[in-house]
Amino acid sequence: MSESISVKITAEKLNLQDCYDFVHDASCGGIALFVGTVRNKTKDKEVTLLDFSTYEEMAIKEIKKIAESALEQFDILKIAIHHAKGILEIGQIPVIISVSSPHRKASFDACQFAIDTLKETVPIWKKEHFADGEVWVNSTP
Amino acid sequence: MQLEVLFFGITADIATEKSIQLEIEEGLSVEKLRIFLQIKYPNLSNYKNYSVAVNMEYASDDVVLKTGDAVALIPPVSGG
């Protein structure tokens, strides 16, 4: 099953082409690609940069679980989930998910499932930096 | 028994360190560890919505800790 899954957490710039090439296959009629990008505002407040930290070993495990679950639930061939760590500036890419499948619906569904689940379960945290301070996203009870 | 506790996100800011070694009584549950840590770091009580991972798996409050376990405090995640 592992040749169907590509998982990565890296301090280097994420590579769209790598994610595309990994899932590309002659048997598939479509590839869905989700690209997260750093937004310049949170609730009208200007963001200067984001700092991503992670419990990396556990995060890799949790991302693999998501990929395995997507392969079980949806009629897809391959899935890549790559996430960045460290400091990212506006417009840079924290996450890329690519999925290939014989028919397009499964790719769309799996891609949505993967990003939604990642945002709930994978131990990665972002700190938003503003001109006048910084805050851990989601940390307020 | 000896236990390593890792802190992430806001919990690392509260603890002002990334990990500690704890000497705790045998048979302590995750729930009791939460109480122990909230006494040690009173500000943690303002952020009780953290999860606890034991050996890199999310653990419910009734899980009993063993010597050598790697415990981590996982505040609400915000990847993506």
Helices (H) and strands (E) in chain B, counts: 2, 5
Q: Which of residues 20-49 of A touch B (CB under 8 A)?
A: 36
pLDDT of A140 over the 80 cut: no
pLDDT of B9 over the 80 cut: yes
From CA B56, how far away is CA A55, in angstroms rounded? 9
ipTM: 0.94
Question: In CATH, what number is assigned to the domain containing residue A19?
Answer: 3.90.1170.40
Residue A119: give the domain boundaries.
2-133
A33 to A3, A90, A91, A120, B5: CA distances (angstroms)? 19, 20, 17, 20, 37
Counting residues of chain A whose pLDDT is more than 90, the rounded percentage is: 92
In a domain, A138, yes or no: no
From CA A123, how far away is CA B79, in angstroms rounded? 7
What are residue A51's DSSP bridge partners? A87, A127
**B8 in reach of chain A (CB within 8 A):** yes
In a domain, A140, yes or no: no
Binary contact (B53, A55; C-beta < 8 A): yes
Q: Which one, of A136, A12, A118, A135, lies nearest residue A64 by Cα?
A: A118
User: Roughly what angle, to the nearest 10 degrees, separates helices A104-121 and A56-73?
Assistant: 150
The pLDDT value given to residue A2: 60
Question: How many distinct structural domains can be found in chain A?
Answer: 1
* Chain A residue with minimum CA distance to B55: A58
pLDDT by residue (tens digit) across A58-104?
Answer: 999 999 999 999 999 999 999 999 999 999 999 999 999 999 999 99
**B72 in reach of chain A (CB within 8 A):** yes
A125 CB neighbours in chain B (<8 A) are 8-10, 75, 77-79
In a domain, A106, yes or no: yes
Q: Which domains does chain B have, with CATH numbers?
A: 2-74 (3.10.20.30)
B23: helix, strand or coil: strand
pLDDT by residue (tens digit) across A5-57?
Answer: 999 999 999 999 999 999 999 999 999 999 999 999 988 899 999 999 999 99
What are residue B20's DSSP bridge partners? B5
Residue with tokens 């200067």: A48
pTM of the predicted model as reported, rounded to 2 decimal places:
0.95
